[in-house]
Structure 1
Amino acid sequence: MTQTIPVSLGARAYDVHIGNGLLARAGELIAPFAPSKRVFVVTDQNVARLHRPVLVASLDAARLKNWTITLPPGEETKSFHGLELLCRHLLQAGIDRRDLVVAFGGGVIGDIAGLAAGLVKRGIDFVQIPTTLLAQVDSSVGGKTAIDTPEGKNFVGLIHQPRLVLADLHVLSTLPAREMRCGYAEIVKAGLIADADFFAWCEANAAHVINCKPEALAHAVVKAVAFKARIVEADEREQGARALLNLGHTFAHALEAHAGYGDALLHGEAVGAGLALAFAHSAGLGLCSAGEARRVRTHLDSMGLSTDLRTLPGAPYDPNKMLALMAGDKKAEAGQITLVLARTIGQAFVHKGADAAKLRAFLEGEIT
């Protein structure tokens, strides 16, 4: 059974289809958005090996002429060099503005392919076919596209909404447990931000989600996508409520930058640690109870998402470097750090002008 979640953005509206077997139907679903009947698939080497034959057969069956551009896997691809390489591939292949780009992979591919589509010839439509749990529940929805720079994660990018998102749950069965845990961090985030009942459901069902049990997995993906869709509808360009989706991410992005954006620390792992840090710092400031902060940390640890900065991959972390990276975060204003903190589970809020001295002391306590 396929469930469809609309993202209502007026002229930029689109649907997110969630279910099994969508990859085999991709051609017929994509065809209305490819007036030239020409499709440029951007993927990585791992996804191409596992899933490209099914997608290409579907595109061929729909009489869509298609080309595949295969990039190296990993966060390192999200760079100026990777973006230039992809844009030049598209241009040399003769792409025009009536063609369609298909981002076929995880968050890295979705980010760089969406950004290239938004830039080449001043904008080409694209479709997201996310193949990781993290990409299905988070990065494929909302139109954020970007590359990383030495100064920070996702510092160069734009908002370019897809025309369609196809989240085939069946492809998740090929993911290693580590990737499933990364995606789970973005699922549980929805409960921590605004739905205490969903967090309680996660505590009871997280193992089923990570182990790809069909009913639990479908429920979690639909719940997370619907939550994000409503936030994006209310605040597409992150001027208000959408900032709540950054719960844990100011910490997480600093951790990733500190660790060098390699495979040692994946984005979802950094988010898991960031969520625990956001609640621990909230408790330290007297905003939420220490018991709730412990509850969040205990749950994340139990799901294999390490929350101890002393042993987190990429350690040792330096509190002063962490603070400098956080001060340079995209959400900072006039040099003041902006955090998303919590009053309780399910009640997150944006906290501007965070006290740097208190934050440094908190980080020192977590790291030493």
Structure 2
Amino acid sequence: MDRIAVTMETSATTPVSRVDDLEQHLGQLATDPTLPTDNKLFDHVEIQMTGIADLLYLLPDANTPPLIPRLLPKITHVLTRYQRDPIALCSLASRLLRPLTFHQIMSFASEEALIQALASPAPPANLLAMTILAKAAETPGDAAVLAAMKGVVTRFVTTWLSAPAVEVGEKGTGVLGDLLVVDSPELPPKVLDENQGIAIPVLSSTPGQGFMWRRIFNDRDVYGLILSLCSKGPHHDVEGGLTPQQLSLAQGRLLRLLPRLSAYNLATIARTNFPDLHQQSMNSEAPGGLLYFAALHMIDRDDILMHLSLVDFFERLLSIQRITPPSTFKMETLRKLYREVAAQDKTFSTVIQSLPDRTIPEEADALRQFIHEVTSD
């Protein structure tokens, strides 16, 4: 019996009860978005789906089960206007989405629905939308399709950097990184152990076309949005602006993303097509792209936690760059960053020099030599 036959038989012999009741309840929620969800009913249906959905997840060529077109459009419709905690709706939707591709999902959900979910004050709705966007990181083609949805990407970047919920920021950092990785025309030179915190995962053996990179780094609106949300300025003092705590979260999220991206295209994150935007954000003539902005001008070094984040950023950056192909540009960039930070921070040099002592023995000598090359005059 082939895969599809197994799945169809399983779907046929494992009926899910009370689906009619759930459809009726979704109709009530659509009519009155202030009603609470019947969480017991949602749990009853979702628990029964677990076996089917898990099987389908392992069998990506299987037919879409009948419950997906039956329930997903209704849930999507409710989520666009629901005014209470949407956790039950989002949980069931996530379960239904598991076997679907990004292209299939977009036949059920509109760009506007994604934007609304990303803009929701409810973290479950944000996470659901980001789960959908993560599907676009499965192939370079889907990443390119998403890159063309400027409104979705803009709202995604806004939520990634400004959401107060830590889990939303972490999810966004991972999803944006995955999208840029799968869309990269260049593949990384090596994969490291994730337990060392410097993993460079290869998501696709097919190089991307760079559409997502151009949307993030060459689109003036999106690039300016990143600078704005990660820098101090009048926009943080107006109603609805980021609080100091949210600003720190945004800066930390950018610091976590950039080292990973440096393995693919150091030049893109170290240069910019919008020097005027950098001058506005940094109030200086300082050159360089997001890498220089994040390392030299973004954070308040008197903030102990942000200072630790900056040190972690440099350690990850150097650990990753050690295994990338040698180049004059790379070494000049790293030396400039190191010297400028070390000149401003007397403890920085000591911490960076001790990094090889805190890595695995197999990597220590090579990393020590690389750091010596970066830090020597």
- TM-score grouping bracket, smaller chain normalisation: 0.3 to 0.5
Higher gyration radius (CA): 2
Higher normalized helix content (fraction of residues):
2
Instruction: Report the TM-score when normalising by structure 2.
Output: 0.32
Highest RCO, 1 vs 2 (Cα 8 Å, sep ≥ 6): 1
- More strand per residue: 1 or 2? 1
Superposition TM-score, scaled by structure 1 size: 0.32
